[in-house]
Structure 1
Amino acid sequence: MLSLFAACVSVAFLLLSSPCLPARTTPAAVDLKPANNVVNRFDRLVDGSKGISVHGISELKRYFHHFGYLSRENTTTRSTRFTDLFDNSFEHALTKYQANLGLRVTGKLDRETISAITSPRCGVPDVVLPNPNARLHVKRNYAFFSDRPRWNRAVPKTLTYAFSPENTIKSLTGIEIRTAVKNAFGHWASVVPVTFLETSDYGFADIKIGFYAGDHGDGEPFDGVLGVLAHAFSPESGRFHLDAAETWAVDFEAQTSDVAVDLESVATHEIGHLLGLAHTSVQEAIMYPSLKPREKKVELKLDDIKGIQALYGSNPNFSYKAFEESDMSSNGASDFKNSPTLLSTFLLPFILWFSL
């Protein structure tokens, strides 16, 4: 154990000057998929900075526009198209993106940032910090949607959910899908006084779940394999959509595809949106916007719990002490108790699913 701790500390110091940090992906309008050929396609942009004009920057501008970092008015004048010029507004959008995602704020298209942009993610736009340095002056990272919407129900709250009978997939059985989503709801129910009940009455359910392909009529078309994985709407919309083109999995031993995506992990994240949480910059939290293929990420972190309890209060059976003990035990890293993000931050480069 001591040798492992020493090794981790050594790795941390080696990476301090150039941390390789996570991950994001792609809106429907931007063809950025997490594969080596895509990364190679953007190699010419690596270390690009203000003043250059290189083919590909217009795609990144569309990406930043889609996820809330760049307005079209600030990018073009009379033209309706984005240009390939690395201008002031693009630099500002880039620094906001880097700060919001917990990356080094360099204002350049370094490899870590390109890696982040080309990684699979949730399709919900980010809540963007107005000042790239703002995150350095606040302790909390969880975020809410504008006006802090939440479900207004009598306490204890009960929300029903149902699956679309038409919009489904054949690669998983109904029982597999229902079990994964039930487990996802259970993670949130364990920390807030909200009960989730499945109903067969899709029309009257509070939360409506379905698998959709491409343009499915909500203004947020899906983009095929990887890219945007799913999206959900803030309270009290109740719409929860998953991309039918993904290789959804509930068991990675049974599903061996390199692009398999864990259904419970994505469902847990999207339910956070359904309840009123926006994206966080805490990389190990459920509400961080990206998820690597073949990654299972279902355990709520302190950031998730504090955020959701700020909206709904605490489940009377929830104990922070028990949670912290369980979390430290599962991570095997009690020496990092006062800095829970340190280990994941410096070891993350070694578990990224693709190499630059």
Structure 2
Amino acid sequence: MRSTALTVGLVAAFTLAVVLAAGQVREGIPGTAPAAAGLYTTVHVLTWAGDDDLSPPPPDSSAAFRLNPNRWASSALPVAVWYNPTGAPQGIPVEDLLRNAVDQWSNIPGSAFAFSYSGTTSGGSGACDVGNRQLDGRNTVTFVTSLPTGTLGITCTVWSGGPNGNLVEFDIQLNANVDWGQSDSLGPGQFDLASTILHELGHGAGLGHPCTGSSSCTDAERQAVMYPSLRAREQRNVLKEDDKAAMAAAYPGPPPEGSGAVGPFRAVLPSVGRD
């Protein structure tokens, strides 16, 4: 199968070459799915910036969030999430971090979207297999050793029905070679696993990156969970107004029943870009 090499710019002033099979795209780049399969795939990449010199975060405010054109149908909600613990880092309660991320995305005032945590599985992340895509009907989070240096994780979303069709499955691969840490005890050179899981699940819900990760990004965009890179010891493990506004725009409606989300939604909704 013919492949196309895409170069993705990183904040840390180096580039990462991502090779995608025909029928796959990265955010903002159109692709064509194999006609027989009738499926399309998007690969979303979260990179590291590797900078330990953290400045105080700016005030949180709504920025120019981006939505991907592919969303889950209302009939598919809540979207089930599974966890394969193979290759997981020792000493970190990954399943608890995943549950927390599921809860955050499922309890946004003004958004009808919800995930549900379904437990552990031995299944893999076949949606990310660019050479031989295998779908198993499960949206699985797992760790792999095959991701290149500079990549914290990727989310591979699959949809059907044309460029604006509904999502049918996603898989998340986290880089098992990264020095992962927990938010309350991050050491030099460690990356926050909770922030990474929360970011990747946002892609699974249908969100894009708010900007490209260049110097043109606003302070609010840099603080959003969906910002495309994460520095060592940086924590973005709580949804910001930009992330919440994106979900309310993508899935408008009352909070899921029993979610515990209360109060009116007052975030300012900017114009929506799609990638």
SS of match in other structure, 1:199: strand
**What is the match of residue 233 of structure 1?**
156
Q: Which structure exhibits the higher relative contact order, with contacts defined as CA atoms closer than 8 Å and separated by 6 or more residues?
A: 2
Corresponding letter in the other structure for 2:154 = H
Residues 213, 29 of structure 1: alpha-carbon distance in 2 compared, 3 angstrom cutoff: farther
Quote the offset at 1:202 in angstroms: 5.0
Higher strand share: 2
Greater radius of gyration (CA) = 1
SS of the residue 2:75 aligns to = coil
Read off the aligned partner of 1:160 and give its amino acid letter: A
Question: What is the CA deviation profile of residues 156-197 of structure 1, one whole-angstrom value per residue up to 9, with x for unaligned ones?
Answer: x222222225x3224235xx0001111111111111331412
Following the alignment from structure 1 to structure 2, what is the Cα–Cα distance between the partners of residues 61 and 196? Answer: 33
2:263 paired residue among 316, 319, 334: 319
Counterparts of 1:309 and 1:209 in 2: how far apart (Å)? 24
Distance apart, 1:120 and its partner CA: 5.3
**Change in CA separation of 1:29 and 1:208 when aligned onto 2, cut-off 3 Å:** same
Aligned to 1:154: 75
Q: Aligned pair in 2 of structure 1 residues 211, 154: CA closer, same or farther (>3 Å)?
A: same
Identical amino acids, percent of aligned pairs: 21
- Provide the alpha-carbon RMSD of the alignment: 3.9
Does residue 223 in structure 1 map to residue 148 in structure 2? yes
Aligned to 2:181: 249
Is 1:120–1:228's contact at 8 Å kept on the other side of the alignment?
no
* Alignment match of 1:169 (pick from 79, 88, 95): 88
- Partners of 1:168 and 1:61 lie apart in 2 by 23
Where 2:168 maps in the other structure, the secondary structure is coil
Distance 1:206 1:67, change over 3 A: closer
Q: 1-side partners of 2:180 and 2:254: how far apart?
A: 31
- The partner residue of 1:200 within 92, 104, 120 is 120
Instruction: Summarize the Cα distance change of 1:205–1:140 in structure 2 as closer, same or farther, 3 Å threshold.
Output: same
* TM-score computed with the length of structure 1 as normaliser: 0.46
Which amino acid is the alignment partner of residue 180 of structure 1? L
Partner of 2:160: none
Cα offset, 1:263, TM superposition? 1.0
- Deviations 1:106-158 (CA, angstroms, capped at 9, x unpaired): xxxxxxxxxxx98259xxxxxxxxxxxxxxxxx9622122xx21122437x22
Match of 1:288 among 227, 246, 249: 227
AA of the residue aligned to 1:161: V
Deviation at 1:32, TM superposition (A): 7.7
Deviation at 1:305, TM superposition (A): 1.3
Q: Does 1:180 align with 2:97?
A: yes
Q: Any stretches of 5+ residues in structure 2 without a counterpart?
A: 31-46, 52-61, 124-135, 158-166, 212-220, 256-260, 269-275
Segments of 5+ residues of structure 1 without an aligned counterpart are: 1-26, 40-58, 72-116, 122-138, 215-221, 325-336, 338-356
Residue correspondences, number:
195
Q: Find the aligned partners of 1:158 and 1:70 in 2 and give their Cα distance.
A: 29
Q: Closer, same or farther in 2 for the Cα pair 1:190/1:120, shift >3 Å?
A: farther
Secondary structure at 1:184 match in 2 = helix
SS in 2 for 1:211: strand
C-alpha displacement at 1:299, in angstroms?
2.1
Change (3 A) 1:202 1:149: farther
Q: Distance in 2 between matches of 1:231 and 1:33?
A: 17
Runs ≥4 residues deviating over 3 A: 27-34, 59-63, 65-71, 200-206, 314-321
Determine the C-alpha separation between the residues in 2 that align with 1:60 and 1:308: 30
- When residues 252 and 62 of structure 1 are mapped into structure 2, their CA distance, relative to the original with a 3 A threshold, is same
- C-alpha separation in 1, matches of 2:105 and 2:7: 32
Assess if the C-alpha contact under 8 Å between 2:11 and 2:229 holds in 1: no
Alignment of 1:1-356 (within 5 A): 34=12, 119=49, 141-145=64-68, 148-154=69-75, 157-165=77-85, 167-173=86-92, 176-191=93-108, 192-193=111-112, 194-201=114-121, 203=123, 206-214=138-146, 222-224=147-149, 227-234=150-157, 235-253=167-185, 255-256=186-187, 258-281=188-211, 282-316=221-255, 317-320=261-264
Amino acid at match of 1:223: P
